[in-house]
Structure 1
Amino acid sequence: MLLKDKIVVVSGIGPGLGVKLAVEAAREGAAGVVVAARSGDKLEDAEARIKALGGKTRVLRQVCDITQAQDCAALAANTARTFGRVDALVNSAFVHGEMDYASSANLDAWHAVLDTNLIGTLRLTQAVIPEMKKTGGAIVMINTMAARKVPPLGEAGYAASKAALANSVKWLAKELGPSNIRVNSVHMGWMWGAPVQGYFEWQAREHGVSVDSLKAQVAVDIPLGRIPTDDECARAALFLVSDYASAVTGAALDANGGAYMP
């Protein structure tokens, strides 16, 4: 199993990629999964899904707003107290913000996006570093194709925050390498799951077309010819915190069906 006996922290638990990261970590043999989000009900759902697998993975639910230093410190402390160590951190928490353009955006609205996607993510990362330094570990930042390829939809603020995070990964990898801590990014594109399905269903109603036709329009620009599922993308991210990626740090993996190729 990819994550056998590891203790994995996943932030940003929600109906899409976040919960899939937690479930797939358990499926891959994690001894413990810490599920973190601002909303407690999402954590209960994640724990139920993990228990439904029938495995032995222990679950710690932790309400955590990553923009708050005390919440991040509490998460790191409770993880260490419960499991004795932190092997992996998957930074999935994010705020998308408005569908905007750099030339016309309300820049004041970017503060909340940057505060979560960049500063908040770094707050949680800094909080777990002291524990990781004791035994080594791995961190992966969930990033976006929008930080590497300008999309037509208008995601300038979101993309800017994620591009800054991607750059920070290089610094972290250089700084933490001597402590046997690896730091990488995984860039997602379209992911078929609850959030995207809801968006497509709304668009289908608005324009009087089928969901399948909308999916086909998007898939035209994806070499695999389909929209990857969030389960698939979760597994790509978890590879980076597994021992199979022990020689990989400071890297950026594109998990988007080939929609972006460097």
Structure 2
Amino acid sequence: MLLKDKIVIVSGIGPGLGVKLAVEAAREGAKGVVVAARSQDKLDDAEARIKALGGKTEILKQTCDITSREQCDALAAAAAKRFGKVDALVNSAFVHGDMDYASTANLDSWRDTLETNLLGTLRLTQATVPHIGRGGAIVMINTMAARKIPPLGEAGYAASKAALGNSVKWLAKELGPKGIRVNSVHMGWMWGAPVEGYVNWQAQEHKIPVETLKAQIAADIPLGHIPTDDDCAKAALFMVSDYAAAVTGAALDANGGAFMP
């Protein structure tokens, strides 16, 4: 089990990747999983899914808006009080913002995206670092859009995530002497609730079968299929496991080969 006896914080619990990160952490033997989201119902859903595994993982639910430093501090303190330590932080909370382009975007609309994806993630990281000991790790959930310009129009989202990717290098350099690793995992298309909803909507809008649209997306992915959010979650959790003990300041692409640096 990759995360046997570890205490893992997962932010941004939601119907897609967020809850899968928490569930897979439990499946991989985490002693405790701290789930954080802005709404209680998402936390309750994560708890139910983890308990359904039938394992011994302890669960701590904490509402947290990462744009608030006070709430970030409270989350980290609650985790440390309950478990005595934190081994891993998975920063998954995000705001996508408008589907826009840099040349025409309402730049004021980027503020919320930057506030959450960059500054909020760094707030939670800063709040958690004092509770992470040597051998601990942090992973930032990033996006392929920060590395490959998509045709969909995600300029604000990509800009916020690109800035976060650069911050990972600073954090890796600064926290390395403390024995804390920091990495990014860049996700592309992920088959799960959010993408499934998008594909169903697009199929209806263009009056084409869902399977046809999925095949069109998969045609640009060397593996030949849209990766599941379960598999992408596993890639992220590998980066906070001891199997990645020699890896810091790195960017892992978990997108089926849709982007190759």
Task: State the TM-score, normalizing by the size of structure 1.
Answer: 0.99
| Alpha-carbon distance in 2 for matches of 1:6, 1:109 | 38
User: How much has 1:30 moved relative to structure 2?
Assistant: 0.1
Q: Could you tell me which amino acid in structure 2 is paired with residue 35 of structure 1?
A: V
Q: Could you tell me which amino acid in structure 2 is paired with residue 242 of structure 1?
A: S
Alignment correspondent of 1:27 = 27
Alignment correspondent of 1:13 = 13
User: How much has 1:59 moved relative to structure 2?
Assistant: 0.3
- State whether structure 2 residue 181 is matched by structure 1 residue 190: no
CA RMSD of aligned residues (A): 0.5
Contact 2:10 2:90 in 1 (8 A): yes
- Stretches of 4+ aligned residues off by more than 3 angstroms: none
Alignment correspondent of 2:146 = 147
Alignment correspondent of 1:234 = 233
User: How much has 1:19 moved relative to structure 2?
Assistant: 0.1
Contact 2:135 2:245 in 1 (8 A): no
Alignment correspondent of 1:50 = 50
Alignment correspondent of 2:85 = 85
Alignment correspondent of 2:60 = 60
User: How much has 1:184 moved relative to structure 2?
Assistant: 0.1
| Alpha-carbon distance in 2 for matches of 1:213, 1:60 | 42
Alignment correspondent of 1:257 = 256
Stretches of structure 1 lacking an aligned partner (at least 5 in a row): none
Alignment correspondent of 2:213 = 214
- Equivalent residue pairs, number: 261
Contact 2:35 2:62 in 1 (8 A): yes
Alignment correspondent of 1:109 = 109
| Alpha-carbon distance in 2 for matches of 1:195, 1:154 | 17
Alignment correspondent of 1:120 = 120
| Alpha-carbon distance in 1 for matches of 2:222, 2:29 | 32
Secondary structure at 2:177's aligned position in 1? helix
Alignment correspondent of 1:244 = 243
Q: Could you tell me which amino acid in structure 2 is paired with residue 170 of structure 1?
A: K
Stretches of structure 2 lacking an aligned partner (at least 5 in a row): none
User: How much has 1:208 moved relative to structure 2?
Assistant: 1.0
Task: State the TM-score, normalizing by the size of structure 2.
Answer: 0.99
Q: Could you tell me which amino acid in structure 2 is paired with residue 259 of structure 1?
A: A
| Alpha-carbon distance in 1 for matches of 2:24, 2:84 | 22
Q: How far does the alpha carbon of each residue in 1:167-207 deviate from its partner, in whole angstroms, 9 at most, with x for none?
A: 00000000000000000000000000011001111111111
Secondary structure at 1:101's aligned position in 2? coil
User: How much has 1:140 moved relative to structure 2?
Assistant: 0.1
| Alpha-carbon distance in 2 for matches of 1:145, 1:198 | 19
Contact 2:139 2:182 in 1 (8 A): yes
| Alpha-carbon distance in 1 for matches of 2:114, 2:77 | 25
Secondary structure at 1:197's aligned position in 2? helix
| Alpha-carbon distance in 2 for matches of 1:158, 1:198 | 19
User: How much has 1:135 moved relative to structure 2?
Assistant: 4.1
Secondary structure at 1:41's aligned position in 2? helix
User: How much has 1:136 moved relative to structure 2?
Assistant: 3.9
| Alpha-carbon distance in 2 for matches of 1:253, 1:44 | 30
Structure 2 counterparts to residues 69-84 of structure 1, below 5 A:
69-84=69-84
Q: How far does the alpha carbon of each residue in 1:207-258 deviate from its partner, in whole angstroms, 9 at most, with x for none?
A: 1111100000001100000000000000000000000000000000000000
Q: Could you tell me which amino acid in structure 2 is paired with residue 31 of structure 1?
A: K
- State whether structure 2 residue 134 is matched by structure 1 residue 161: no
Q: Could you tell me which amino acid in structure 2 is paired with residue 147 of structure 1?
A: A
| Alpha-carbon distance in 2 for matches of 1:36, 1:131 | 16
Q: How far does the alpha carbon of each residue in 1:32-78 deviate from its partner, in whole angstroms, 9 at most, with x for none?
A: 00000001100000000000000000000000000000000000000
Aligned identity (percent) is 80
Contact 2:88 2:136 in 1 (8 A): yes
